[in-house]
Structure 1
């Protein structure tokens, strides 16, 4: 999404311009397609409107299950899990993300597997599960390379690996 200005180096969450996100949310408020629903979920999530985001994410998953493809359903489930992550329901988010990773990898859907691993890593990172976060982020890098991702996508994944390694093994300073 073009609204991401970068990533917070400490939390790994997206940095966005809230006014820009609010304007886009208003612009697409009445659209009912699955892609617009997913975009609205993401916008609500980054704006901190988590109850609304979760309700809409549940609706998007139902719509994808009934009228979308299996890939659509996986994307919707990953996004719903990220809302759970933001709500600090880390165990629930991890369970959903692990299932999405397994299905995407089992089907050979490399970009979706990388997307799911990235978010599983971020969820684990926030939960303080640094070994799991590191494993997921490293898998993201591998899968993105395999998929031929651009340098920016690889850089974001490598930054996440570096961040979790610094958090996992902090340097002790005497003095």
Structure 2
């Protein structure tokens, strides 16, 4: 089930139907598998229930570390970082996302690396570091191509690159 209806052109955040997300959250609330925990964290995040999302994200990282694969742990860490980002902890999110992206690339897991770079770019974008955002989005695009992503995924990365370039051009110049 895809609950994402699109992306806000100014913030690049997911656009969702909050009612559908709340219904889905209620439906899976008692389930404890790692994929469901990841979904619950994401749902809490997009519903702006960030304290709950952070607590569950930390639990999900612990569970992935103890009982999941290395890929599971990377996915959980990326999701945890996106919760930090939504809470405004951009420096902590950037560090976590960079580590995840580097590890995934080093292991040849291009899909996970692209996912981490995309979120690294969104974090930089929200922190108004549009040059870093653009570079992260470009890296995500390259890795998505390497992973054989479909046109929808490639288009998402291209729209993010365009948004970062537009915002960078609109930003006032820095005098030295």
Q: TM-score range by the shorter chain?
A: over 0.9
Aligned mates of 1:119, 1:2 — CA distance in 2 = 18
Q: TM-score, normalised by structure 2?
A: 0.96
Matching residue of 2:62:
62
Partner of 2:11: 11
- Unmatched tracts of structure 1, length 5 or more: none
- 1:119 maps to which residue? 119
**Residue 170 of structure 2 aligns to a residue in which SS?**
coil
Give, in whole Å, the separation in 2 of the partners of 1:149 and 1:104: 16
Q: Following TM superposition, by how much is the alpha carbon of 1:171 offset from its aligned partner in structure 2, in angstroms? A: 9.2
Distance 1:2 1:53 in 2: 19
Distance in 2 (alpha carbons) for counterparts of 1:104 and 1:28: 29
The offset of 1:146, in angstroms, is 1.0
Indicate yes or no: 2:61 matched with 1:75. no
Deviation string 1:125-145 (CA, Å, 9 cap, x unpaired) is 000111110000000111111
Matches within 5 A, 1:80-99: 80-99=80-99
The residue aligned with 2:28 is 28
Unaligned runs of 5+ in 2: none
How far does residue 170 in structure 1 lie from its aligned partner after superposition? 2.3
Instruction: Name 2:157's counterpart in structure 1.
Output: 157
Q: Structure 1, residues 109-159: CA drift from partner, whole Å, max 9, x if none?
A: 000000000000000000011111000000011111111111110101000
Number of aligned positions between the proteins: 172
Q: What whole-Å deviation, never above 9, does each CA across 1:46-84 have from its counterpart, x for those lacking one?
A: 000000000000000000000000000000000000000
TM-score w.r.t. the length of structure 1 is: 0.96
Q: In the alignment, which residue of structure 2 is the partner of 1:50?
A: 50
